[in-house]
């Protein structure tokens, strides 16, 4: 059974490089905010309502945690086996759905608009994770995880390669920006949006995080491996304002479960140990300095001394 740390600093927060020390808040510990899920994913913060949403994929629901009361409730059920979530630059919820094999936007009045469900006349696979850029464009990954069985969606045949897409905010045109990726998963931009980071969660011989240069805000070039995950499995990723990558992590061995933090050069500098494998994360709170971690059956949080980038 997980127990919160009774001591400061929390030993679950490990400084692996001296540069990480400045990001640790001495008297902040890992907190468990909720549990009882089957597979947590896609946390997204709504500061204007002081609540967090996250997906519980196999239970086909999006949950809501309230900052003021600590109450947990259902935001949407069924959710279309929702996975990744973010907000667009107007503050509306954008969600990847395995069940509908689509990306949708939820307005403040609850109206749902389909943003993308096909490419070149073929159905998308199962959109996984999503971010927005400052120009309003929506970028998302489309692996086959959600159509591989009935646990996180509906079993179906793939009609498209596993690609990364960009949806133009002005024209609504969907463009393929990276193709035939080995299990495209989490993605995020660098603070200046000159780089896109992408998790290849089916990379061989090991999983990896790759980096692309972003050209003109709409195309990618110069793909290179930034981080070799070795025996671990990176999943969701987010960037802080110093350019560090905070990565959900795990792989069968509890020594790897939690969050790994890498500097912009790809060097491992810190780790947050969790008792469960972490699938995805986001920054939230009033100052975007609270890290929310969707980890297997539970939702965790930790205050850190850095802010997350907007758009994630």
CATH number at residue 221: 2.120.10.30
Q: Which residues of 55-81 are buried (b: 16+ CB within 10 A; e: fewer)?
A: bbbebbbbbbbebeeeebeebbeebbb
Mean pLDDT of 43-53: 97
Above 80 in pLDDT, residue 1? Answer: no
CA separation for the pair 36, 57 (Å, rounded): 13
HSE-up (13 A, CA, CB side) for residue 285 = 15
Q: In the prediction, which pLDDT does 310 show?
A: 85
Answer whether 121's CB lies under 8 Å from 109's CB: no
Q: For residues 309 and 51, what is the distance between their CA atoms, to the nearest angstrom? A: 18
**Widest CA span in the chain:** 57
Mean of pLDDT values over 208-231: 97
Tell me if 7 is assigned to some domain: no
Q: Is residue 109 domain-resident?
A: yes
The answer to whether residue 220 is domain-embedded is: yes
Mean pLDDT of 58-69: 98
Band (pLDDT 50/70/90 cuts) for residue 175 is very high
CB distance 76 to 55 below 8 Å:
no
Residue 312, pLDDT score: 64
Q: How many CA atoms lie within 13 A of 236 on its CB side?
A: 31
Share of the chain above pLDDT 70, in %: 99
- Does the annotation flag 125 for ligand binding? no
Total domains in the chain come to 1
Note the pTM of the prediction, 2 decimals.
0.97
Q: If you average pLDDT over every residue of the chain, what do you get?
A: 96
Q: Can you give the residue range of the structural domain that contains 70?
A: 13-303
39-48, 174-183, 253-262 — which is least confidently predicted? 253-262
Rounded average pLDDT over 86-95: 96
Query: Was 263 annotated as part of a binding site?
Result: no
Catalytic residue among 10, 129, 142, 235: 235
What is the reported pLDDT for 88? 96
Round to whole Å and give the CA distance between 3 and 103: 37
Model pLDDT, residue 263: 98
Stretch (H or E) spanning 75: strand 72-76
Residue 160 domain flag: yes
Mean predicted confidence (pLDDT) in 185-211: 96
Neighbours of 20 (CB within 10 A): 19
Q: What is the rounded radius of gyration, in angstroms, for the C-alpha atoms of the chain?
A: 18
% of the chain with per-residue pLDDT over 90: 94
Q: What is the pLDDT of residue 220?
A: 98
- Asked if residue 235 belongs to a known ligand binding site, the reply is yes
Q: Is the pLDDT of residue 125 over 70?
A: yes
* Strand runs labelled E in 149-275: 163-167, 174-178, 184-189, 195-200, 208-215, 219-228, 237-239, 245-249, 258-262, 268-273
Domain assignment present for residue 232? The answer is yes
Structure tokens that stand for 62 in this block = 């999006």
Give the mean model confidence (pLDDT) for residues 171-184. 95
The model's confidence at residue 2, banded by pLDDT at 50, 70 and 90, is: confident
User: How many helices and strands, by DSSP H and E, does the chain display?
Assistant: 0, 27
Q: Tell me whether residue 235 is one of the annotated catalytic residues.
A: yes
Enter the tokens of residue 190.
């660098």
4 occurs within a structural domain: no
Judge whether 5 lies within some domain.
no
Phi and psi at residue 74, in whole multiples of 5°? -90, 125
Q: List, in order, residues 6 or more apart from 93 with CB less than 8 Å away.
A: 44, 53, 85, 86, 87, 105, 106
Sequence-ordered list of residues with C-beta below 8 angstroms from that of 109, at least 6 positions apart, any chain: none
In a domain, 309, yes or no: no
What count of other Cβ atoms lies within 10 Å of the Cβ of residue 150?
10
Question: Mean pLDDT over residues 167-172, rounded?
Answer: 96
**How far is residue 285's CA from residue 295's CA, in Å, rounded to a whole number?**
19
Judged against a pLDDT cut of 80, whether residue 210 lies above it is answered with yes
């Amino acid at each position: 059974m997980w127990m919160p740390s009774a001591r400061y600093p929390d030993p679950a927060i490990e400084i692996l490089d001296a540069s990480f020390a400045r990001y640790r808040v001495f008297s902040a510990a890992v907190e468990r905010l909720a549990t009882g899920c089957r597979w947590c994913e896609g946390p997204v913060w709504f500061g204007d309502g002081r609540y967090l949403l996250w997906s519980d994929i196999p239970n086909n629901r999006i949950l809501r945690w309230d900052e003021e009361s600590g109450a947990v409730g259902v935001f949407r059920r069924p959710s279309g086996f929702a996975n990744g979530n973010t907000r667009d630059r107007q503050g509306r919820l954008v969600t990847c759905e395995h069940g509908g094999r689509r990306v949708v936007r939820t307005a403040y009045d609850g109206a749902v608009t389909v943003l993308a469900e096909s490419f070149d006349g073929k159905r998308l696979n199962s959109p996984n994770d999503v971010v927005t850029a400052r120009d309003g464009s929506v970028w998302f990954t489309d692996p086959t995880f959600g159509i591989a069985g009935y646990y996180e969606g509906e079993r179906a045949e793939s009609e498209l390669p596993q690609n990364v897409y960009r949806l133009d905010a002005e024209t609504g045109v969907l463009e393929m920006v990276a193709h035939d990726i080995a299990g495209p998963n989490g993605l995020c931009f660098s603070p200046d949006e000159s780089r896109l980071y992408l998790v290849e969660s089916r990379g061989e011989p090991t999983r990896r995080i790759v980096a692309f240069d972003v050209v003109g805000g709409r195309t990618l070039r110069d793909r290179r491996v930034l981080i070799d995950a070795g025996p671990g499995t990176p999943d969701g990723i987010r960037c802080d304002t110093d350019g560090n990558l905070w990565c959900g992590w795990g792989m069968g061995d509890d020594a790897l479960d939690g969050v790994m933090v890498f500097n912009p050069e790809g060097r491992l500098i810190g780790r947050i140990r969790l008792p469960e494998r972490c699938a995805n994360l986001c920054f939230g709170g009033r100052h975007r300095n609270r890290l929310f971690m969707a980890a297997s059956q539970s939702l965790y949080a930790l205050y850190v001394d850095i802010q997350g980038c907007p758009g994630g």
